[in-house]
Amino acid sequence: MGQFVKRLIRSPSWATWGSFSARALPLVVLPGFIFSEFSDNYAALWFILITIQGLQLLLESNVGLTFIRAIGFAVGGAHHVRRQGGSSELGEQKAVPNRVLLASICSAMRSAYLCVALLSLVILGSAAVFSSEAIIAELESPMAGVVPIILFVLSAAFRTYGGLHISFLYGTGHIAALRWWECFFWVLSFIFAMLAVQQGSSLTIIAICYQVPLLVNLMVNSYLSRQYGLFDLYDSAGKNGGRSVLIDLWPSIWRSALGVMLYLGMIQGAGLLYARIGEPQDVAIYLFAMSLMRPMMQFAQVPFFTKLPQLAAMHVSGKKRELISIASRGMQLSHILLALLIILFGLMLPVISDSSEHVTAVPQPLWALIGLASILERYGAMHLQLYSQTNHIIWHWANGGAAVIFSLCVYFLLPLLGSLALPLSIVIASVLFYVPFCRLRSREAFAIGLSFDARTALVPIGCVVAYNFFSFVS
C-alpha cells in the first residue's frame, strides 16, 4: 500500500489528472450556485470571467509548449533549439543534458514571458470590455461588474508571467510536484469561492476568493523552481546568455501565439461575441457548456501531453520508433478518455438537471455538437503537436486556415441556428481543413499511415459521431 501511494504521488499522469480534476470543480459545481444566487446578467458576467480565464490559460500554455519543447531538446543533449531533423546529433552515445543550452533557454524565458504577460493584459482586457459592456450597462451598479473584471484580467497577467516557472518545472521533469500543488490550490480556490457564494457575497468578493489561492500558487511554483535550480541557471547564463536562444525560438513563439489567437482564441472569442448579442440566459448556458468541456479536454489530453518533453528528447536523439510508439499510446488513451467523458456526461446531464435546482440545463444537441467539435479539434491538435517535435512550427497556417472557415461559417449560421452555430462551425472548419492539414504534416514527418489512425482515433471519434446522431434524432 505504501509503495502504491509513493508511485501515485510521483506519477506525472496522476498528478496532472488530479490538477485538472481540481480545476474542473469551479467550472462544474460552482456555476449552478451562481445561477441560483444571481440574476441572468450576473450569471452571464461570471461565465465571461471564466472564458477570459480560459483564454489566459490557452495563451500561456501554448507559448509554454515552445519552451517545454526547447528544454526537452536540451535535456536530450541538443546543441541548439532550431528545427530538429530527427537524425541524432549524438550518434549511439547516451544523451547528456546540455546545461549551457538549458541555462540560455531559462534566461530567454524571463524576457519572453514578461512580454507575453503584458500582451495578455492588453488582449484580455480588450476582450473583457468588448464582451461585457452591454451586460454591465444593465446592472443596477455597474461597478459591481467592472471590479471583478479588473481582478480577473490583472490576475491573468500575473499568472501568464508565472508560466515561466511552469515551463521550467514541466520541461525538466518535475511534473508531479508542480501538478499536486496546483491541485491543492485549485481545490482551495473552489472552497473559498463556494463559501463566498453561500454567504451571499457580491461577485467582487467571490472573484477575490477565487483568485487569491491561484496567485499564492504562483509563489509556490517560484519556490519550487528555485529549489530545482532555475535561479542558478539564470546566474550561469550571464547577462546576455538567452539572447541567441530567444532569437532562435522567436519564430516558434510568434507562430504558436498567432496560431492560438487565430483559431482557438477565435473560438473563445466567438463565445464572447455571442455574449454581446445573445440573450443573457442563452449566453450563460452556452458559456457554461464550454466551461465544462475545457477541463474535460485538459483531463483527457494528459496521457499524450505529459509525454511531450520525452518526445522532444527522443526526437533529438533519433529514437523514431520509440517516439511513434509512445505518441500512439498517448493519443489512443486521450481520444478514448475524451469520448467517454463527452458521452457519459451528456447522458448524466438530464438526470442531474432534474434532480438539482443548482445545475443548468444544457440541451443535448448543443452538448453533443460541442463534444464532436472538441474531439475533432483534439485529434488535429495532437497530430500538430507531434509534428511540432521537429521544432518546425506551422500553427499559424493550420489555425489560420481553420479560423477563416470558422469565421465564415459563424457569420452565415449564427443568425439561423443561434448557439448551435458555434460548435457546428468548429466541426466544419476541422473537417474541411484543420484535421487533414495537421494529419498530413505528421505523416510526412514520421511516416505514419492510416493504421495509426485506426488504432488511435477511429473508434472514439466514431462513438461521438453516433452520440450526435442519436442526440439530434431523439
DSSP state letters, 5-61: HHHHHH-HHHHHHHHHHHHHHHHHTHHHHHHHHS-HHHHHHHHHHHHHHHHHHHHHH
Classify residue 196: in a domain, yes or no.
yes
Cell of 147: 471590479
Q: What does the pLDDT profile of the chain (474 residues) look like in tens digits?
A: 577 777 878 888 888 888 888 888 887 778 778 877 887 788 888 888 888 887 787 777 777 878 887 887 777 777 776 655 554 444 444 557 777 788 888 888 888 888 889 988 998 888 888 888 888 888 888 888 889 999 999 999 999 999 989 988 988 888 889 999 999 999 999 999 999 998 988 889 999 999 999 999 999 999 998 888 776 776 665 555 567 777 777 877 777 777 777 766 667 667 767 777 777 778 778 878 887 888 888 888 888 988 887 887 787 777 888 888 999 999 999 999 999 999 998 888 776 665 555 556 788 899 999 999 999 999 999 999 899 888 788 888 888 889 889 989 988 998 888 889 999 999 999 999 999 999 999 988 888 888 898 999 999 999 999 999 988 887
Q: Which cell numbers in the block locate residue 108?
A: 530567454
**Residue that the C-alpha cell 442531474 belongs to:** 352
Separation of CA 343 from chain center: 21
Find the domain containing 107 and state its range. 8-473
222-251 burial, b at 16+ Cβ within 10 Å, e below that, comes to: bebbeebbbeebbebbeeebbeebbebbeb
Give SS3 for 146: helix
- Which residues are CB-neighbours of 307 under 8 A, at least 6 positions away? 326, 327, 330
Nearest to 72 by CA among 169, 163, 172, 167: 172
Distance CA(418)–CA(397), nearest Å, equals 28
Locate 74 and state its grid cell.
536540451
One-letter identity of residue 372: L
Measured CA angle at 11 (ends 9, 12), to 5 deg: 120
Domain membership flag for residue 1: no
User: Residues 425, 46, 151, CA angle at the centre, nearest 5°?
Assistant: 115
Residue 379: exposed, middle, or buried by beta-carbon count in 10 A (0-12, 13-18, 19+)? buried
At residue 368, the pLDDT reads 93
Q: Is 384 part of a structural domain of the chain?
A: yes
Cα separation of 86 and 184, whole Å? 39
How far is residue 256 CA from its own chain's centroid? 13
Does residue 130 form part of some domain? yes
How far apart, in whole angstroms, are the C-alpha atoms of residue 216 and residue 223?
11
Give domain status of residue 2, yes or no. no
φ, ψ dihedrals at 95, nearest 5°: -65, 130
Q: Give how many domains the chain has, as a whole number.
A: 1
Pair 332, 456: CB distance under 8 Å: yes
**Quick check: is 3 in a domain?**
no
Count of alpha carbons within 13 Å of 166, Cβ hemisphere only?
Answer: 23
For residues 276 and 131, the answer to whether their CB atoms sit within 8 Å is yes
Question: Counting beta carbons within 10 angstroms of the beta carbon of residue 137, is it exposed (0 to 12), middle (13 to 18) or buried (19 or more)?
Answer: exposed
Residues present in the chain in total? 474
Angle at which helices 99-137 and 40-75 pack, to 10 degrees?
170
- pLDDT for residue 466: 95
Largest CA distance in the chain: 70
Grid cell listed for 87: 537524425
Q: 80: how many CB neighbours lie within 10 A of its CB? A: 18
CB 202 within 8 A of CB 148: no
Helix-then-strand count for the chain, H and E: 22, 0
Reduce the DSSP state of residue 105 to 3 states and report it: helix
Q: Record the cell numbers describing residue 418, joined without a space.
A: 443561434
Residues in CB range of 166: below 8 A, 6 or more apart: 60, 64, 178, 221
Per-residue pLDDT, 150: 92
Amino acid at the residue 243: R
* C-alpha separations of 280 from 46, 64, 334, 376, 397 in Å: 11, 34, 34, 29, 35
